[in-house]
A and B are shown apart, each in its own frame.
Chain A
């Protein structure tokens, strides 16, 4: 069974640009979560999608947004990139009604 997949693996952008990150959950999982992990820091919760709806949002500005598609895959969009957005962006999925999340390998975003 395939795990959570994310693309791209690495991305380099400049300040002010926009970026889209993609995530495919484990087959059968309906919930997708996005986290930001800056170098040497813990996981900061960004967004939670379930059944196509945004269920919860972390303490991030509105320029961080996303969506979930009918096939449960998800996109994370970040507009007007800032230097401090440089981080590992992790996607996780879970099946409905469970707390356990399974993570993808992450997308390393560098903002210059």
Chain B
């Protein structure tokens, strides 16, 4: 079974703190995507990383794709309450996109 394990599963932090979410697998991915989902809504694509070692920045969010293309990380600098949500990584080792187990982030003012 191909799995994308995310850690931590839950994260509660104060506004202004930094955090990192990890997405790991034993499979190699041609690309990985990160999504953020708010309760009752569909996931919204944040970024797609395609090259091993690639780093992409989206304002306070930094995404990194592992050199071996088996893992990825999402780092948020100076978290804000608006960052609250479920963060999902996703990749397609075969012909089917699989989603990570998710990291639920709560940022308190």
A residues with a Cβ closer than 8 A to B are 4, 33, 42-43, 45, 48, 55-56, 88, 90, 92, 99-106, 108
B residues with a Cβ closer than 8 A to A are 30-31, 33, 35, 40-45, 48, 88, 90-92, 95-102
> What's the dominant secondary structure at chain A's contact region?
strand
Which residues of A sit under 8 angstroms from B91, Cβ to Cβ?
99
How many A-B pairs with Cβ below 8 Å?
49
Q: Is the CB of B92 within 8 A of A99?
A: yes
Known: A4-B42, A101-B33; 7 extra A-B contacts, CB below 8 A, are A42-B100, A42-B101, A99-B30, A99-B33, A99-B91, A101-B90, A106-B41
Give min CB distance, B94 to chain A, whole Å.
9
Give min CB distance, A74 to chain B, whole Å.
15
| Contact A101:B42 (CB < 8 A) given known A42-B102, A43-B88 | no
